[in-house]
Amino acid sequence: MTKANDYNSVMARRGEIMKKSVGIDYSKFESGSIAFDYERMMRETGYSLEEMQKIQRSVHVGDTPIIELRNLTALARKYAKPGYGARIFIKDEACNPSGSFKARRAANSVYHAKKLGFKGVVTATSGNYGAAVASQAAMAGLKCIVVQECYDSKGVGQPEIVEKARKCEALGAEVVQLSVGPELFYKFLLLLEETGYFNASLYTPFGIAGVETLGYEISMQFREKFNKDPDAVVVTNAGGGNLTGTARGLLKAGASTRVIGASVDLTGLHMASDAMFNRKSFTTGHTGFGVPFSVWPDRSDVPRSAAKPLRYMERYVTVSQGSVFYMTEALASLEGLEKGPAGNTSLAAAFALAQEMKEDELIVVQETEYTGAGKHVQPQLSFAKDNGIEVFFGDPEDEVPGKNIVLPSNPALIKAKDVDLDNMRRSLIRTAINTYKTTPTEEDIEFLAEETRKDIEFVKEAISQLSSL
């Protein structure tokens, strides 16, 4: 009997499609309530660190260099008080085959797909992950389909997303480009069902565990070069997998490094809005992903996301769009390194944060990405102007996302603003209770404490506040 392919029918089959396309029975780890055995899922469905390293090295992924940014460090020290201005480093993940850290996630996912006997892989992403999956699928001899949310309703696509489509196609993938809205997930599910391909999701245990090698490498490289772990690692935060995997890798190395998330501040822009789609100049690494995916990770394309940023994030900061563009240019002109905006989001934050730290401390931006025609500063700014966005030099404090982009008139104006993590933690607790519509058990409360990196009293207080509303 032919299955109905209308939107509601396909969405009703979501759980069935996911289970078949990922090969994970998530119900094994469910409690029937809010609680979920996250560590057991990671342990039983993922790979050990040693296995991941072996898989990645066999496909030329990982072991990327650490580069000290001496000139940017000197510039940061110019604006720091005496004795302050930490040494700034980057982990050059652009050296991976597809040009970003996401090659680590893709290597594991594609390896697992081939191991299970799938003939191809499908992924839904407008970011670098599409190119990473396409690259790894080509090496493995598997078919690859990348589903992108690319255009607004007028058929206008953002330069950065169009650039990534070119990269995916160059690596042999079929790219399905869609307009903004709920069509993306529907089409993704339909393709999984029609092709019988593997769901190379960003949010499976394979994908997240793949990034653990990155955190582990950082620790090992710093110990070898400086006899210590970095004092802080800054991670661009979007869906949360980058931060989660890096933090887990650092923990497996026994590092006590502070993990700081960073996002571009796009407050006020709705990510699913057709009218606002082309009024943002960053396609990922911004608060439109970083905040909602942190406070409710299970909004992803698998039943239970393996990305859990609030479990690991010790601090979360935002930077302005103009600051990231400025830092992209500064990296090129002062250090001779052209990199794309994803890592430069963290670099802008690290530049500001380094000024709070002592001179003998080490701060590392744990990723860079390749750059290309649509990722460069000028195409992005020209596109913004074409969409009615004002671009000028001034104080980033005056920037209003969707209205203007303010390039700092002086590097001293680049600031990292703290996000209220406790507020985000309360939001996660509230969403969990509203989603499962249950009175939390003691097991649920313990789980929520782990999810939010807080104690049980914090969770109970947050629940009591909800009850009094």
Residue among 104, 116, 100 nearest 168 (CA):
100
Q: Checking DSSP bridges between strand 315-319 and strand 417-418, what pairing results, if any?
A: antiparallel
Which residues lie below 8 Å from residue 5, measured CB to CB, with a gap of 6+? 190
Are 393 and 437 in the same domain?
no
Within a domain: 66: yes
Are 319 and 451 in the same domain?
no
| Domain CATH for 351 | 3.40.50.1100
Q: If residue 87 lies in a helix (H) or strand (E), which one and from where to where? A: strand 87-91
Residue among 284, 319, 312, 346 nearest 421 (CA):
312
Within a domain: 179: no
Please report the pLDDT score of residue 45 as a whole number: 82
Q: Are the C-beta atoms of residues 260 and 233 closer than 8 Å to each other?
A: yes
Please report the pLDDT score of residue 110 as a whole number: 96
Q: How far apart are CA 378 and CA 401, in angstroms?
A: 18
Give the pLDDT means over successive 10-residue stretches in the chain (469 positions): 84 86 90 94 89 96 98 98 98 97 96 96 92 98 95 89 92 93 85 95 91 98 98 97 98 98 94 84 90 93 92 98 98 97 97 98 97 91 94 97 97 98 97 92 96 97 82
Within a domain: 351: yes
Please report the pLDDT score of residue 468 as a whole number: 66
Q: If residue 146 lies in a helix (H) or strand (E), which one and from where to where? A: strand 143-151
Please report the pLDDT score of residue 75 as a whole number: 98
Q: Are the C-beta atoms of residues 399 and 267 closer than 8 Å to each other?
A: no
Bridge-partner residues for 88, per DSSP? Answer: 363
Number of folded domains that form the chain? 2
Please report the pLDDT score of residue 240 as a whole number: 96
Domain limits at 452?
421-467
Are 314 and 459 in the same domain?
no
Within a domain: 330: yes
Please report the pLDDT score of residue 469 as a whole number: 57
Are 460 and 377 in the same domain?
no
Within a domain: 307: yes
Q: Are the C-beta atoms of residues 214 and 178 closer than 8 Å to each other?
A: no
Are 397 and 297 in the same domain?
yes
Are 313 and 387 in the same domain?
yes
Are 290 and 345 in the same domain?
yes
Q: Are the C-beta atoms of residues 198 and 22 closer than 8 Å to each other?
A: yes
Within a domain: 301: yes
Are 435 and 409 in the same domain?
no
Q: Are the C-beta atoms of residues 309 and 237 closer than 8 Å to each other?
A: yes
Please give, one letter per residue, the 3-state secondary structure of 366-420: CCCCCCCCCCCHHHHHHHHHHCCCEEEEECHHHCCCCCEEEEECCHHHCCCEECC
pTM to 2 decimal places:
0.96
